[in-house]
Structure 1
Protein backbone atom coordinates (compact mmCIF):
# COMPACT_ATOMS: atom_id res chain seq x y z
CA UNK A 1 0.00 0.00 0.00
CA UNK A 2 1.40 3.39 -0.97
CA UNK A 3 1.97 5.91 1.77
CA UNK A 4 -0.32 8.89 1.75
CA UNK A 5 0.69 12.26 3.14
CA UNK A 6 -1.59 11.62 6.11
CA UNK A 7 -0.02 8.31 7.24
CA UNK A 8 3.61 9.05 6.27
CA UNK A 9 5.90 9.39 9.29
CA UNK A 10 6.61 13.05 9.91
CA UNK A 11 10.16 14.31 9.85
CA UNK A 12 11.53 16.85 12.27
CA UNK A 13 12.82 20.21 11.12
CA UNK A 14 16.32 21.21 12.26
CA UNK A 15 14.86 23.39 15.05
CA UNK A 16 12.46 20.65 16.15
CA UNK A 17 15.27 18.11 16.19
CA UNK A 18 17.43 20.38 18.35
CA UNK A 19 14.61 20.61 20.90
CA UNK A 20 13.90 16.87 20.72
CA UNK A 21 17.59 16.18 21.46
CA UNK A 22 17.15 18.07 24.74
CA UNK A 23 13.91 16.24 25.54
CA UNK A 24 15.48 12.85 24.83
CA UNK A 25 18.47 13.67 27.03
CA UNK A 26 16.51 15.20 29.93
CA UNK A 27 13.24 13.19 29.59
CA UNK A 28 11.04 15.94 31.08
CA UNK A 29 11.64 19.68 30.89
CA UNK A 30 10.08 23.11 31.00
CA UNK A 31 10.84 25.61 28.23
CA UNK A 32 13.52 27.36 30.32
CA UNK A 33 15.36 24.01 30.66
CA UNK A 34 15.38 23.66 26.89
CA UNK A 35 16.76 27.18 26.47
CA UNK A 36 19.50 26.46 29.04
CA UNK A 37 20.72 23.54 26.91
CA UNK A 38 20.74 25.39 23.59
CA UNK A 39 23.83 26.93 22.03
CA UNK A 40 24.30 30.65 21.54
CA UNK A 41 22.72 32.57 20.03
CA UNK A 42 19.72 31.25 21.91
CA UNK A 43 16.30 31.67 20.33
CA UNK A 44 13.59 33.65 22.09
CA UNK A 45 11.53 31.92 24.78
CA UNK A 46 8.38 32.33 22.64
CA UNK A 47 10.09 30.70 19.66
CA UNK A 48 11.01 27.61 21.68
CA UNK A 49 7.56 27.49 23.24
CA UNK A 50 5.94 27.63 19.79
CA UNK A 51 8.17 24.85 18.44
CA UNK A 52 7.37 22.65 21.45
CA UNK A 53 3.64 23.16 20.83
CA UNK A 54 4.16 22.22 17.16
CA UNK A 55 5.95 19.06 18.30
CA UNK A 56 2.97 18.35 20.53
CA UNK A 57 0.55 18.74 17.60
CA UNK A 58 2.72 16.41 15.52
CA UNK A 59 2.53 13.79 18.28
CA UNK A 60 6.20 13.81 19.29
CA UNK A 61 5.70 15.52 22.67
CA UNK A 62 3.11 15.77 25.41
CA UNK A 63 2.96 17.72 28.65
CA UNK A 64 1.85 17.75 32.25
CA UNK A 65 0.40 21.01 33.53
CA UNK A 66 1.35 22.35 36.95
CA UNK A 67 -0.70 25.52 37.15
CA UNK A 68 0.59 27.78 34.38
CA UNK A 69 3.78 25.76 34.02
CA UNK A 70 3.98 22.96 31.47
CA UNK A 71 6.49 20.13 31.76
CA UNK A 72 7.13 18.54 28.36
CA UNK A 73 8.23 14.97 27.69
CA UNK A 74 8.84 12.95 24.51
CA UNK A 75 6.24 10.48 23.25
CA UNK A 76 8.66 8.81 20.84
CA UNK A 77 12.13 7.55 21.74
CA UNK A 78 15.24 8.70 19.93
CA UNK A 79 15.81 5.14 18.68
CA UNK A 80 12.25 4.87 17.31
CA UNK A 81 12.58 8.19 15.50
CA UNK A 82 16.01 7.24 14.12
CA UNK A 83 14.61 3.91 12.90
CA UNK A 84 11.67 5.61 11.13
CA UNK A 85 13.91 8.31 9.68
CA UNK A 86 16.49 5.83 8.40
CA UNK A 87 13.76 3.64 6.88
CA UNK A 88 12.62 6.72 4.95
CA UNK A 89 16.18 7.47 3.79
CA UNK A 90 16.75 3.82 2.87
CA UNK A 91 13.55 3.63 0.81
CA UNK A 92 13.71 7.09 -0.80
CA UNK A 93 17.39 7.11 -1.78
CA UNK A 94 18.51 3.48 -1.93
CA UNK A 95 15.42 1.57 -3.05
CA UNK A 96 15.26 -0.20 0.30
CA UNK A 97 18.67 -1.80 -0.28
CA UNK A 98 21.00 -1.80 2.72
CA UNK A 99 23.89 -2.90 0.51
CA UNK A 100 23.38 0.19 -1.70
CA UNK A 101 23.36 2.36 1.43
CA UNK A 102 26.61 0.82 2.70
CA UNK A 103 28.14 1.13 -0.78
CA UNK A 104 27.20 4.81 -0.83
CA UNK A 105 28.92 5.45 2.49
CA UNK A 106 31.98 3.42 1.57
CA UNK A 107 32.39 5.44 -1.64
CA UNK A 108 31.56 8.88 -0.20
CA UNK A 109 32.90 8.73 3.33
CA UNK A 110 36.09 7.14 4.52
CA UNK A 111 35.19 3.99 6.44
CA UNK A 112 38.09 2.69 8.48
CA UNK A 113 39.16 -0.94 8.56
CA UNK A 114 38.02 -1.08 12.21
CA UNK A 115 34.55 0.18 11.26
CA UNK A 116 34.36 -2.37 8.44
CA UNK A 117 35.29 -5.16 10.85
CA UNK A 118 32.72 -3.92 13.37
CA UNK A 119 30.00 -3.95 10.68
CA UNK A 120 30.95 -7.48 9.64
CA UNK A 121 30.91 -8.63 13.29
CA UNK A 122 27.43 -7.16 13.78
CA UNK A 123 26.16 -8.92 10.66
CA UNK A 124 27.68 -12.26 11.74
CA UNK A 125 26.00 -11.97 15.15
CA UNK A 126 22.58 -11.44 13.53
CA UNK A 127 22.71 -14.85 11.80
Structure 2
Protein backbone atom coordinates (compact mmCIF):
# COMPACT_ATOMS: atom_id res chain seq x y z
CA UNK A 1 0.00 0.00 0.00
CA UNK A 2 1.52 3.33 -0.98
CA UNK A 3 1.22 6.54 1.01
CA UNK A 4 -1.25 7.84 -1.56
CA UNK A 5 -3.55 4.83 -1.23
CA UNK A 6 -3.25 4.40 2.55
CA UNK A 7 -6.71 4.89 4.05
CA UNK A 8 -7.07 7.84 6.41
CA UNK A 9 -8.58 6.84 9.75
CA UNK A 10 -11.50 8.76 11.23
CA UNK A 11 -11.37 10.01 14.84
CA UNK A 12 -13.21 6.90 16.10
CA UNK A 13 -10.95 4.64 14.06
CA UNK A 14 -7.91 6.39 15.53
CA UNK A 15 -9.15 5.61 19.03
CA UNK A 16 -9.31 1.93 18.10
CA UNK A 17 -5.90 2.06 16.41
CA UNK A 18 -4.39 3.60 19.56
CA UNK A 19 -5.61 0.59 21.54
CA UNK A 20 -4.29 -1.88 18.97
CA UNK A 21 -0.92 -0.08 18.77
CA UNK A 22 -0.69 -0.18 22.55
CA UNK A 23 -1.89 -3.74 23.17
CA UNK A 24 -1.05 -5.48 19.90
CA UNK A 25 -3.68 -8.03 18.89
CA UNK A 26 -7.13 -7.76 20.53
CA UNK A 27 -10.64 -9.07 20.27
CA UNK A 28 -13.52 -6.66 19.68
CA UNK A 29 -14.54 -7.21 23.33
CA UNK A 30 -11.08 -6.16 24.58
CA UNK A 31 -11.10 -3.02 22.43
CA UNK A 32 -14.65 -2.22 23.52
CA UNK A 33 -13.75 -2.53 27.22
CA UNK A 34 -10.99 0.06 26.82
CA UNK A 35 -13.21 2.41 24.79
CA UNK A 36 -15.99 2.13 27.38
CA UNK A 37 -13.74 3.64 30.05
CA UNK A 38 -13.75 7.01 28.25
CA UNK A 39 -17.05 7.17 26.39
CA UNK A 40 -20.45 5.59 26.20
CA UNK A 41 -20.27 3.27 23.22
CA UNK A 42 -22.13 0.08 22.38
CA UNK A 43 -20.39 -3.20 21.63
CA UNK A 44 -22.09 -3.46 18.24
CA UNK A 45 -20.80 0.02 17.33
CA UNK A 46 -17.24 -1.07 18.14
CA UNK A 47 -17.74 -4.28 16.15
CA UNK A 48 -19.09 -2.40 13.11
CA UNK A 49 -16.24 0.14 13.24
CA UNK A 50 -13.65 -2.63 13.35
CA UNK A 51 -15.35 -4.44 10.44
CA UNK A 52 -15.22 -1.20 8.42
CA UNK A 53 -11.58 -0.73 9.40
CA UNK A 54 -10.87 -4.25 8.12
CA UNK A 55 -12.57 -3.43 4.80
CA UNK A 56 -10.52 -0.22 4.55
CA UNK A 57 -7.27 -2.10 5.19
CA UNK A 58 -6.52 -0.41 8.52
CA UNK A 59 -6.62 -3.66 10.51
CA UNK A 60 -6.13 -7.36 9.89
CA UNK A 61 -8.56 -9.94 11.23
CA UNK A 62 -7.61 -13.48 12.24
CA UNK A 63 -10.68 -15.66 11.82
CA UNK A 64 -9.00 -19.00 12.61
CA UNK A 65 -10.82 -19.27 15.95
CA UNK A 66 -14.36 -18.51 17.09
CA UNK A 67 -13.26 -15.15 18.53
CA UNK A 68 -11.79 -12.94 15.83
CA UNK A 69 -8.49 -11.25 16.68
CA UNK A 70 -7.65 -7.85 15.18
CA UNK A 71 -4.29 -6.11 14.78
CA UNK A 72 -3.31 -2.78 13.25
CA UNK A 73 -2.00 -2.86 9.69
CA UNK A 74 -1.05 0.81 9.56
CA UNK A 75 2.15 2.04 11.17
CA UNK A 76 1.67 4.29 14.19
CA UNK A 77 4.54 6.68 13.43
CA UNK A 78 3.61 7.05 9.75
CA UNK A 79 -0.05 7.63 10.61
CA UNK A 80 0.83 10.23 13.25
CA UNK A 81 3.28 11.93 10.89
CA UNK A 82 0.69 12.10 8.12
CA UNK A 83 -1.97 13.54 10.44
CA UNK A 84 0.42 16.12 11.94
CA UNK A 85 1.58 17.19 8.48
CA UNK A 86 -2.04 17.53 7.37
CA UNK A 87 -2.85 19.58 10.49
CA UNK A 88 0.17 21.84 9.99
CA UNK A 89 -0.87 22.49 6.39
CA UNK A 90 -4.61 22.89 6.99
CA UNK A 91 -4.81 24.48 10.43
CA UNK A 92 -1.50 26.33 10.87
CA UNK A 93 -0.96 27.45 7.27
CA UNK A 94 2.16 25.31 6.91
CA UNK A 95 3.87 26.62 10.07
CA UNK A 96 5.23 23.90 12.36
CA UNK A 97 6.36 26.63 14.78
CA UNK A 98 2.78 27.86 15.18
CA UNK A 99 1.64 24.30 15.92
CA UNK A 100 4.33 23.83 18.59
CA UNK A 101 3.63 27.20 20.21
CA UNK A 102 -0.10 26.47 20.26
CA UNK A 103 0.47 23.01 21.74
CA UNK A 104 2.83 24.27 24.44
CA UNK A 105 0.60 27.24 25.20
CA UNK A 106 -2.46 25.06 25.76
CA UNK A 107 -0.90 22.19 27.71
CA UNK A 108 1.42 22.14 30.67
CA UNK A 109 4.58 20.32 29.68
CA UNK A 110 6.67 18.61 32.34
CA UNK A 111 10.28 19.63 32.94
CA UNK A 112 11.35 16.35 31.30
CA UNK A 113 9.26 17.12 28.20
CA UNK A 114 10.68 20.65 27.96
CA UNK A 115 14.23 19.29 28.35
CA UNK A 116 13.54 16.69 25.66
CA UNK A 117 12.19 19.38 23.30
CA UNK A 118 15.25 21.60 23.95
CA UNK A 119 17.58 18.68 23.25
CA UNK A 120 15.74 17.89 20.02
CA UNK A 121 15.89 21.54 18.90
CA UNK A 122 19.64 21.68 19.68
CA UNK A 123 20.18 18.56 17.59
CA UNK A 124 18.21 20.11 14.71
CA UNK A 125 20.25 23.31 14.80
CA UNK A 126 23.54 21.39 14.81
CA UNK A 127 22.70 19.47 11.63
Same structural fold, with TM-score higher than 0.5 when normalized by the shorter chain: yes
**8 Å Cα contact 1:35/1:42 also seen in 2:** no
- Residues 66 and 120 (structure 1), Cα distance of their counterparts in 2 relative to 1, 3 Å cut: same
Gapped regions of structure 2 (runs ≥ 5): none
**8 Å Cα contact 1:35/1:48 also seen in 2:** yes
Aligned to 2:26: 29
1:49 corresponds, among 23, 44, 47, to 47
Query: Tell me, what secondary structure is at the counterpart of 1:84?
Result: helix
- Residues 40 and 102 (structure 1), Cα distance of their counterparts in 2 relative to 1, 3 Å cut: closer
Aligned to 1:95: 93
Gapped regions of structure 1 (runs ≥ 5): 1-5
Distance 1:110 1:24 in 2: 24
Q: Give the paired residue count.
A: 120
TM-score of the aligned structures, taking structure 1 as reference length: 0.74
Aligned to 1:80: 78
After superposition, the CA RMSD in angstroms is 2.8
TM-score of the aligned structures, taking structure 2 as reference length: 0.74
**8 Å Cα contact 2:88/2:96 also seen in 1:** yes
